[in-house]
Amino acid sequence: MVSNAPAHRPQAAGLPTPMLPQPFQIQRVSQETPDTFTLVLQPASGTAPFCFLPGQFNMLYAFGVGEVPISISGDPAHTQILVHTIRAVGTVTKAIQKLKPGRVLGVRGPFGSHWPVAEAAGHDIVIVVGGLGLAPLRPAIYQILAHRAEYGNFELIVGARTPADLLYHKELERWRGRFDFRVHVTVDSASPAWRNNVGVVTTLIPRARFDPWQTAALVCGPGVMMRFTVQELLQRGVKPENIYISMERNMQCGIGLCGHCQLGPYFICKDGPVFAFDQIEKWFALREI
């Protein structure tokens, strides 16, 4: 049994109050897909390390515009930089998209629960992601690869709408060249030039090699994708308490005080965003909850 009980949750380290954003300067911007980009940030002053656990998120503030919750997608071992992959879909994320290197963002965090990466040592690992879902899981992948010997089989299944929507494609290529884990990629639709899988991610789960009784599955993507992926994993015999999913809600405070992110008895920002499936199974199935 693996656990990511809230006891492991660190307080927002080094912040005078978790309600006050700290200025971070944009070092680098890279375009991932037509509407998604990755920012590399550093503290605007000082060199205090930014420590986080895979799966946690920050609140990013665009000056005068507003704030959005964005999961951290860098390597937890690299504490001198902070990496976020963002899809420009709303007022704030579009304002962030316009910022050039050298400009400053406000950062509050890290907040929330984490993928049970350290806790899953000794297990086979299956990571299933859809679309932008790869971003919050990339820190977990880095951490697992850094301690590869501690885990059994490691399978990464990545789905996207089209090849152009795949995040981190150069990194995916590098990962596919490694012999210590298997990377499966599929897209919903593609031109004939695409020489890889076409279809939803669930079709690849039967191909993944893992011992269901000794497996931790980490799943992130759109709601429908997570629902069918969890079903498939359960069918293969993975225990519900060893399947982890990351939930999304309106978040404004990040610290469980504003009430927006409730899902049944949980505040996604402080009890989640990462939950063991058995923890939220009952609420996951309800509509408009």
Partner 1 sequence: MYDGLAAAADLPRGWTDEQEAGSFRLKPQGNQAFFGCTVGQHSWKTFLLPPRTKLWQAERQGHGVEIVPHQEQTPKFAFIGVRPCDLHAIAVQDRVFLEGPYVDPVYQARRRLAFIVAVNCTRAGGTCFCASMGTGPQATTGFDLALTEILHGLEHYFLVEVGSDQGAEVLQEVPHKPATTAVQTLANKLIQETTAHMGRHLDSDGLKELLYRHYDHPRWDEVASRCLTCGNCTLVCPTCFCNAIEDVTDLTGEHAERWRRWDVCFNVDHSYIHGGSIRTSAKARYRQWLIHKLATWIDQFGCSGCVGCGRCITWCPVGIDITAEVRAIRESEKEE
In the list 121, 240, 258, 281, the residue contacting partner 1 (rule: CB under 8 A) is 258
Q: Which are the contacts of 185, defined by CB distance < 8 A and separation ≥ 6? A: 158, 159, 160, 166, 172, 176, 196, 197
Q: Does residue 66 interact with partner 1 by CB under 8 A?
A: yes
**HSE on the CB side for 101, CA within 13 Å?**
6
Which residue's structure tokens are 């590399």?
A: 40
* Least distance CB 95 / partner 1 (angstroms): 11
* Least distance CB 250 / partner 1 (angstroms): 5
- Short-list 16, 40, 5, 36, CA closest to 108: 16
Q: Which are the contacts of 220, defined by CB distance < 8 A and separation ≥ 6? A: 128, 129, 130, 133, 134, 136, 137, 226, 245, 246
Q: Does residue 184 interact with partner 1 by CB under 8 A?
A: no
- Rounded-to-integer distance, Cα 83 and Cα 4, Å: 23
- Short-list 233, 221, 273, CA closest to 124: 233
The nearer residue to partner 1, 66 or 163, going by C-beta atoms, is 66
Q: What residues does 28 pair with on adjacent strands?
A: 40
* Least distance CB 128 / partner 1 (angstroms): 21
Q: Does residue 209 interact with partner 1 by CB under 8 A?
A: no
In the list 188, 241, 248, 281, the residue contacting partner 1 (rule: CB under 8 A) is 248
Q: Does residue 6 interact with partner 1 by CB under 8 A?
A: yes
Q: Does residue 196 interact with partner 1 by CB under 8 A?
A: no
Q: Does residue 16 interact with partner 1 by CB under 8 A?
A: yes
Q: Does residue 145 interact with partner 1 by CB under 8 A?
A: no
Q: Does residue 164 interact with partner 1 by CB under 8 A?
A: no
Name the site residues for partner 1 (rule: CB under 8 A). Answer: 6, 9, 11, 16-23, 25, 44, 61, 63-67, 89-90, 102-104, 106, 248-250, 252-253, 255-260, 262, 264-265, 267, 270, 286-289
